[in-house]
Chain A
Amino acid sequence: MKKKALKKLLSLVMVLTVAVALCACGGDKSTDDAADSSTPAGTEETEEAEESAEAADNNSSQTGEPTTGGSVTVGMTQDLVSLDPHVISDAGTRSVVFNLYEGLVKPTTEGELVPAIASDYEISEDAKVYTFTLRDGVTFHDGSEVTVEDVKYSIERYAEIYGESSALSIILEEVVADSENNTVELHLTEGNSELLPELTLGIIPASNEDPAGNPIGTGPFQYVSYTPGQNLVISRYDGYWNTEKMAYLDEVTFKFVADVETAYMELQAGTLDILDYLTTDQVETLADGYTVAEGSMNMVQGMFLNSGSGPLSDARVRQALNYAVDTQSINDFLFGGKSKKIGTHMLTSMTQYYNADTENVYSYDPQKAMELLAEAGYADGFDLTITVPSSYSQHVSTAEIIVENLRAVNINATIELVEWNTWLTEVYMGGNFEATVIAFDGTLAPSDWLERFCSDSAENFMHYSNEEFDALYEQAYSAVDQEEKSQYYRDAEMILAEDAANVYIQEPADFVGIKEELGGYSFYPTAAYDMSTIYYKAAE
């Protein structure tokens, strides 16, 4: 009896295993077929390869005739915060929803803001009234036409959610929707000429009760499905108003992958068609069949310092750190020298505001660093803890190089690795740290970058305080004249550099691996994965 039971059990197990094994064999075929059918037939490999090599040299892959159709899977190593365009979210999320929503204006690849849902806009002399004329014939993904009421609703909803995080929310007096003239007027309590970047905020229909669960916008792609932790699927919106810029692809899937290594393997296996933030090692080992586009991560990476803590409260010590850290070797080691050098807290691509002179304030000069340290009374150095979020390998590697650099000037630096949430809580929210290596992103508004250095800013986790900076920032922010505004901002940036608020390292390069059948990948100076320009190259 017992023997029989045992035998039965064992034979059952055997049968099941064989079944599994058989199914595995059957499966190979089907996956192979799938892989074949997803590649366009008859591509001329050698020509393609040449083309793509050229493309890589030109930092873009815009060669080959575009064709309409096909689908693409883009890898992401993070999930989305929300599909609601008005929720405060991170750069990754904003980059993705860029495809679904549009604002009154939208950014170009050059960082200019051009009319989108608005066909035209006007800013009054005193910058207190912004008037937008809506474009005719713009429709939401549900087919309904965009009305001035929808625009008013969207702006008010955004302002309410963003609260004090947004200049627009703070100074917005009222939104006047004029359906007769098809215009929307924004009345402000004080003049502000740099609100346009905020008006890229997504316009959504006032009738939609669940913008996060059922996202409806006006962008070139519309929402298909979202599976938390797995993927977001979007498809071309055929009713898109800008018929000249219709998306080529039928469908795009953003796939969320658990970690960087896995994502890279999936790119090599062809599961992913596009993957950004490749490391230089990965770029070198990437097999044939891929092009690598080079752009910028649109972030400012630096060693951020707590100006309220110990030796770091002395500007001379902070300056010494700037002389001691070899930013070029960090760039060479981590990004093959492809990152842009920066000297202050602003993107180089925001040319109107970026002060390039800040790059020359410091050079790698350990001798000078020692002198400054001696002057400040730290000839024998001091202990410094650099808190780094462990999930960002680039920041960890950067910190490792910095530790070596600082040892040369007698500063005994140690790295404290913390998990991301701990970093957010302790360092960012709590301001409880000495130094940290991190990168910040921001919008196209210069104030979004510089505001956090004001003494009374809620986001000033560095405890940085400089009266001169505060005054200049105030002047820059309230200036209406564009020339004047830029000059004040540049001056303020110079103070950050000379007073050595932080050690600014680089604007990290972004390497994007792209299947070579694909063309049209474009970089924006702000958070955007523009999928509408991507296409499968025609076979000749």
Chain B
Amino acid sequence: MKYVLKKFITLIITLLCISAITFGAFSIIPGDAAVSKLGVNASPQQVEALRQEMGLDDPILQRYGRWLSGAVRGDFGDSYQYDNTTVASLLSDRLPVTAMLSVMSFLLILVIAFPLGILSARFSGRGPDIGMNLVTQVIMAVPSFFLGILLTYLFGLVLHWFQPGQFVQPDEDLGACLCYLVFPAIAIALPKIAMVVKFLRNSVLAEMEKDYVRTAYSRGNTKSSVLYRHVLKNAFIPVITFLALLIAEILAGSIIVEQVFSVPGVGRLLITAILNRDYPVVQAVVMYVTALVVVINFLVDLLYQAVDPRIKAGG
């Protein structure tokens, strides 16, 4: 219980720091929501008037205070960009989409990377391992957005396995929505799969050098029984940490990939909001993502214990 409380306080402090940094960054970069909204069709006086209406002229601390007092009550305010639209309503449409996309990418990573990583370790130095090494090396070097464009071209335009841009809202048809998300998920997952394969392979090989492995062999165990019954458990621990870090990267990857596949998720919302200087939306998205990453890290801590009880929570 004390452990959970401690984690919760960490979360609050992290959120405060991040929100202050985002706020600060936004007051430094040129342009604001009023300029963005009126563009080249208005006079500077009108921009100034809109600025006052939006409260953008107030001192930064006052604006931050105003935002904070709303945020603690769970009210992220109204969007600057869209008339009569609350930030909450913008987010509530998009969070599920990004959540599904991220979970799907994560599952793909688990399902594909683990067997391949173990395989690679098992055949280390031989054909399958060398081949795998080559492939992973190449895939790791390809950025997600480029992979996204390649996938859209190949599976969308050449093979017609899916129709680029024809996203279906989850509340309309969940199945069709998930189907559409498969390819963006692959675009996010592939480079990460390559990383996990490499990481797991090295982790297993490092573990194989340990004394207990020699002992296990000396007791007459076969190679595979040593691998599956002794080594893997230990080799998984660093991999779990790595996976936790990956979740943050998956979220970052989805921001880019959502653009390429026209997936109306949080990432696309965030980019549009930054371009339009729609500050309340940016702040809310950043808060959600931060909270998510912190919470997931907490869950990973718990997962350690499930895998290895020697690790004490909060220790």
Q: How far is the CB of B207 from chain A (nearest CB, A)?
A: 16
Whether the Cβ atoms of B36 and A17 lie closer than 8 Å is no
- CB of B65 within 8 A of chain A? no
Residues of the B chain whose Cβ atoms lie less than 8 Å from the Cβ of A268: 157, 164
Residues of the A chain whose Cβ atoms lie less than 8 Å from the Cβ of B32: 421, 425
Whether the Cβ atoms of A24 and B107 lie closer than 8 Å is no
A35 to B107 Cα, complex, angstroms: 30
Q: How far is the CB of B202 from chain A (nearest CB, A)?
A: 20
- CB of A84 within 8 A of chain B? yes
Chain A contacts with B in 192-246, Cβ cutoff 8 A: 210, 212-213, 227-230
Residues of the B chain whose Cβ atoms lie less than 8 Å from the Cβ of A87: 83
Q: How far is the CB of B193 from chain A (nearest CB, A)?
A: 13
Contact of A425 among B31, B83, B261 (CB under 8 A): B31
Q: How far is the CB of B172 from chain A (nearest CB, A)?
A: 12
- CB of B10 within 8 A of chain A? no
Residues of the A chain whose Cβ atoms lie less than 8 Å from the Cβ of B110: 13
- CB of A28 within 8 A of chain B? yes
Query: How many pairs of residues, A versus B, come closer than 8 Å at their CB atoms?
Result: 176
SS class, residues of chain B in contact with chain A: helix
Contacts known (A165-B43, A212-B83, A265-B156); A422 close to B29, Cβ less than 8 A: yes
Chain B 227-263 per-residue mask, 1 if CB under 8 angstroms from chain A, else 0? 0000001001000000000000000000000111110
Contact of B259 among A84, A88, A258 (CB under 8 A): A258
Whether the Cβ atoms of A31 and B162 lie closer than 8 Å is yes
Q: How many residues belonging to A are interface residues under a CB distance threshold of 8 Å? A: 64
Whether the Cβ atoms of A23 and B178 lie closer than 8 Å is yes
Contacts known (A229-B268, A270-B163); A164 close to B149, Cβ less than 8 A: no
A177 to B166 Cα, complex, angstroms: 49
Chain A contacts with B in 420-475, Cβ cutoff 8 A: 420-422, 424-426, 428-429, 440, 458-459
Of B16-24, B44-52, B218-226, the one touching chain A: B44-52
Whether the Cβ atoms of A228 and B79 lie closer than 8 Å is yes
| Residue in A closest to B183 when the chains form the complex, CB atoms | A24
Whether the Cβ atoms of B83 and A213 lie closer than 8 Å is yes
A26 to B182 Cα, complex, angstroms: 12
A28 to B166 Cα, complex, angstroms: 12
A376 to B107 Cα, complex, angstroms: 69
Residues of the B chain whose Cβ atoms lie less than 8 Å from the Cβ of A32: 160
Whether the Cβ atoms of A229 and B31 lie closer than 8 Å is no
Chain B contacts with A in 149-186, Cβ cutoff 8 A: 149, 152-153, 156-157, 160-166, 175-176, 178-180, 182
- CB of B85 within 8 A of chain A? yes
Whether the Cβ atoms of A262 and B259 lie closer than 8 Å is yes
Whether the Cβ atoms of A271 and B165 lie closer than 8 Å is yes
Chain B 77-101 per-residue mask, 1 if CB under 8 angstroms from chain A, else 0? 0010111110000100100000000
Residues of the A chain whose Cβ atoms lie less than 8 Å from the Cβ of B272: 79, 229, 258
- CB of A110 within 8 A of chain B? no
- CB of A367 within 8 A of chain B? no
- CB of A143 within 8 A of chain B? no
- CB of B275 within 8 A of chain A? yes
- CB of A255 within 8 A of chain B? yes
SS class, residues of chain A in contact with chain B: helix
Size class of the B contact interface (CB-based, 8 Å): 35 or more
Whether the Cβ atoms of B37 and A81 lie closer than 8 Å is yes
A424 to B261 Cα, complex, angstroms: 29
Residues of the B chain whose Cβ atoms lie less than 8 Å from the Cβ of A440: 40
Residues of the A chain whose Cβ atoms lie less than 8 Å from the Cβ of B160: 32
Whether the Cβ atoms of A28 and B40 lie closer than 8 Å is no
- CB of B108 within 8 A of chain A? yes
Residues of the A chain whose Cβ atoms lie less than 8 Å from the Cβ of B164: 262, 265-266, 268-269, 271
Whether the Cβ atoms of B275 and A429 lie closer than 8 Å is no
Chain B 3-45 per-residue mask, 1 if CB under 8 angstroms from chain A, else 0? 0000000000000000000000000011110011111111111
Whether the Cβ atoms of A265 and B83 lie closer than 8 Å is no
A87 to B260 Cα, complex, angstroms: 31
Of the A-B pairs whose beta carbons lie under 8 Å apart in the complex, a sample of 21, sorted by A's number, is: A2-B306, A6-B236, A6-B307, A10-B114, A13-B111, A16-B107, A17-B107, A17-B111, A24-B178, A24-B182, A27-B176, A163-B46, A165-B46, A258-B258, A258-B260, A265-B152, A268-B157, A271-B166, A419-B31, A421-B277, A424-B31
Closest 3 CB pairs between A and B? A27-B179, A421-B31, A266-B165
Which B residues form the contact surface with A (CB < 8 A)? 29-32, 35-47, 79, 81-85, 90, 93, 104, 107-108, 110-111, 114, 149, 152-153, 156-157, 160-166, 175-176, 178-180, 182, 233, 236, 258-262, 264, 268-269, 271-272, 275-277, 306-309
Which A residues form the contact surface with B (CB < 8 A)? 2-3, 5-6, 10, 13-14, 16-17, 20, 23-24, 26-28, 30-32, 34-35, 79, 81-84, 87-90, 163-165, 210, 212-213, 227-230, 255, 257-259, 261-262, 265-266, 268-272, 419-422, 424-426, 428-429, 440, 458-459
